[in-house]
Copies of this chain bind each other. A is one copy, B any other.
Amino acid sequence: MTDHPSLTLATFAAQLDFDAIPAAVVERTVNLYVDWLGSALAGKGARPVETIARFARQAGGGLPDDPCEILIDRSCTTPYFAAMVNGAASHFAEQDDVHNGSVFHPATVVFPVALALAQANRASGRDFIAAAVAGYEVGIRIGEFLGRSHYKVFHTTGTVGTVAAAATAGRLLGLTPMQMLDAFGSAGTQASGLWEFLRDAADSKQLHTAMAAANGLMSAQLAADGFKGATHILEGAQGMAAGMSSDADPARLVDRLGSRWAIAETSFKYHAACRHTHPAADALLAVIQQHRLAPRDIVKVTAHVHQGAIDVLGAVVTPRTVHQAKFNMGTVLGLVAYHGYAGVTEFEQGFDTDAIAAFRDKVEMAFDAEVDSAYPARWIGKVTVLTGDGRTLHGRVDEPKGDPGNTLSRDEIETKLRRLAAFSGAASDEEASRLLETAWQIASQARVESVFDAEVTA
């Protein structure tokens, strides 16, 4: 343990070399990138996303020869606004990835920045991958460092995401370790994002990821130009942990840097709902499949959950919007019971049908000591199901679908992307095929090119 852990972390991020990353981790990073593309495309047409896109056009950038793509409408802009709009877009469908231990969604703040700066600077695929890995490794460790007390009030993806985005941008800009520390300082002092919006179905989640990506990128660009940041913004006496955590553990910041690849622990999201609902959803699915239950056979479901699930999901009793429904355990379990899957289309077309609303009222959450003590390292799913004929059935999954031990194949990732692109209309199936072909090859590209028109501009 160093006496300046944030410098150790910044040095790691600044100096991370592609060749130091194991091949399996590179492969997983490419998978996470392609998975992210699907989420970014899924944001097209979503009101909060389009509103932020209009703001960005009004605020500046957006000339035809600007170097960066906005994926929802294929327009061109500067790195700052591309990071902002793609950051907003990729967290909307609730299908972007999550790291369990830090309760942090890395892709939505890391890849918008990596793609924008790589396109602007014509970086290689190797540097793109190294920068993305740097962002994940930094963000996940800071999330773990800030602990569960932080997540009770703060949306970690907004707060920690700002520093993760800065790490990614800083790696692509070739910052020195001290400049990277400056970037952390400027990013950490801008870290923000409060859970309060959940109670109102407000649009802040898109704002959090948009601004984490944009502010993180800004912080690294400022650092490259000599702008100084606090050197102990994470662990200092008036830094992030001092202000926003009561259980911070600085040792987590440097946990096995270079040997533990936290990015490979990241989970894909299978259902299009808050990740806190997934373990119970998969456990319910297991009961339904094992006992061949129909929804009408089920009288009551108790989801045995960790405290964090109650904190985040407890705010919504009767969802009024699709987005609120994604944070409602009863709705998610209802969709799973009726469709076997809670995807974007299932939510959009049926979150408030009579059947789903009736099922919702059969569901309750209960705190479970075993689940809670395993959390956040492991997200165990446990449900108790009471049937109409008087049986009490128990379901359990130790790794929900999408977790590293139960991950998505490249075929499943492709299917998910096509489904999301079709849902939002951001790409035809043919366009999806073309962009997938390019995207799978990103690690070996000499220059990161357009997502949509690689063959044209290559």
Contact = CB atoms under 8 A, between A and B. Distances in A.
Contacts of A153: 238, 242-243
Given A55-B221, A59-B60, A221-B55, A202 B226 contact: no
Nearest to A218: B55
Contacts of A186: 203-204, 207
Interface in A267-306: none
A233 interface: yes
A192 interface: yes
Query: Secondary structure at chain A's binding surface: helix, strand, loop or mixed?
Result: helix
Contacts of A327: none
Nearest to A219: B207
A48 B191 CA distance: 19
A95 interface: no
Contact of A193 (B189, B194, B226): B189
Contacts of A208: 189
A189 B196 contact: yes
A136 interface: no
B197 A189 contact: yes
A229 B197 contact: yes
A338 to B, nearest CB: 29
A241 B217 CA distance: 28
A189 B185 contact: no
Given A153-B238, A244-B244, 17 more contacts: A47-B226, A58-B78, A59-B79, A59-B80, A61-B61, A185-B196, A186-B203, A189-B197, A189-B204, A191-B192, A194-B239, A196-B238, A199-B230, A199-B238, A200-B230, A203-B227, A243-B244
B194 A233 contact: yes
B51 A227 contact: yes
A226 B47 CA distance: 9
12 contacts: A48-B228, A51-B226, A52-B222, A58-B221, A59-B81, A59-B218, A60-B61, A152-B238, A191-B192, A199-B238, A204-B229, A207-B222
A181 to B, nearest CB: 10
A179 interface: no
B190 A238 contact: no
A215 interface: yes
A141 B228 CA distance: 31
A79 B196 CA distance: 28
B236 A196 contact: yes
A171 B87 CA distance: 29
One complex includes copies of this chain to the number of 2
Given A191-B192, A239-B196, A54 B225 contact: yes
Contacts of A77: 60
A188 interface: yes
A197 B80 CA distance: 24
A154 B238 CA distance: 8
B194 A243 contact: yes
Nearest to A225: B51
Given A55-B225, A199-B230, A232-B196, A190 B218 contact: no
A195 interface: yes
A240 interface: yes
Contacts of A47: 226
Given A48-B227, A78-B58, A230-B200, A215 B211 contact: yes
Contact of A202 (B78, B193, B231, B242): B231
Interface in A224-269: 225-233, 236-240, 242-244
Interface in A53-95: 54-55, 58-62, 77-81
A316 interface: no
A211 to B, nearest CB: 6
A198 interface: yes
Nearest to A81: B60
A422 to B, nearest CB: 26
A294 B51 CA distance: 63
A237 B153 CA distance: 8
A46 B188 CA distance: 23
Contacts of A60: 59-62, 77-78, 80-81
Contacts of A242: 153, 194, 196
